[in-house]
Structure 1
Amino acid sequence: MGHGTMATPPTTTITAKTTLVFTYGTLKRGFSNHVLMQDLIRSGDASLKGVYQTLEKYPLVCGPYRVPFLLNKPGTGHRVTGELYVVSPRGLSRLDELEGIARGHYVRQPIRLAAAEKEGGDLEAEHATSSCVVEAYYAHKSYEEELWKRNGGRSFGAYTENEARGYVKRKDRPQHLTFLDHIRIFVSSPCD
């Protein structure tokens, strides 16, 4: 039958399928979920590309437990600074799991970036030849608007130690409530 003819060379799948992921919150260096990134870097499933900034302004706000959320409202807020990682398909599925993609916590959608550190062109020009799309984890549409209102239209340009002060790790939050329950309670509570 000649089974061997259908096999694709293993190299093409890896190189062709990496995704650029823009991290703006707890996945960045120095924050609580960066341990996952370190795991992925060790296993060869991620590498840091550098510090980048969104091309457009976006609101970056904190939700319950000082969890950061990027809202998909281009033109509002600030140009957000974060870290860009090249991530393998295996790495991406672990990030999707962390970000609760299947559970309606966050959505992964494209974002446009410009380099924050080195002078010169934006990412588009750098990758014009390859089919690279940069993606970010945005707040899910189901609560995005309420979260924006709850923050009183205030947002910040970077999630720093200051914004992260008071961050509560998932394992330390009340376990009988889901992530979305926490958000519902947060958006319906009065501002402090």
Structure 2
Amino acid sequence: MIDRFLLFIDPEVKDYYKPTDSTNLGSRLQDLGYRVIKTTDVSAVSTYIHQVDALIICSSIANIKTFATQSLNHRSLPLIWWFHEGSSLKDEICELEIDIDALLCSNMSNKEIHWSLHLCSNRFLQRIQWQKERELLLSKLEERKHLEKAKAILCELKKISEQEAYDFIRKQAMDERKRMVDVAISIITAYQILVANK
């Protein structure tokens, strides 16, 4: 559940949203019971980002990526884009190179805001899970490459089959109480030193 927000408003658009105006989502979120820290200073984001559950950036489409990248370098959080309605979209590309978990607009009803924030939380958790799974798969793929390379080296040097090379690496790993990938990396490193010294 997210209920504490850091709201960064792009200095270029801050004059559009007066604190008492109904289009100011920061004030509306506070009226709905959420806690909101507001700033227009991007350097202040690093100070406040550890006190909140999510980051809201109010900016045009031209600036969202820059502000999001600068802000999320400090901590991974759900990213909510408060779309500045004054932005012109006619010539903009409808693709962003950042992960946005929710979109808010000033003309949303209170119920729509609640639902958007609820979906934001779920989307962020899914995104983090996907990133962890991706990193795990990339790690396994990298381990597999090392293992295949080490097997090829053993096949060449010892004149053994691929299965025998695999069994050799597995036995070494068991004997030395290491992971197979660590044994494979040792074999590759030793082979590279041997080749370099020839």
TM interval, short-chain normalised: under 0.3
Largest Rg, 1 or 2: 2
Q: Which has the higher contact order (CA 8 A, sep 6+)?
A: 1
Comparing both structures, which one devotes a greater share of its residues to strand?
1
What TM-score do the two structures reach when normalised by structure 1? 0.25
What TM-score do the two structures reach when normalised by structure 2? 0.24
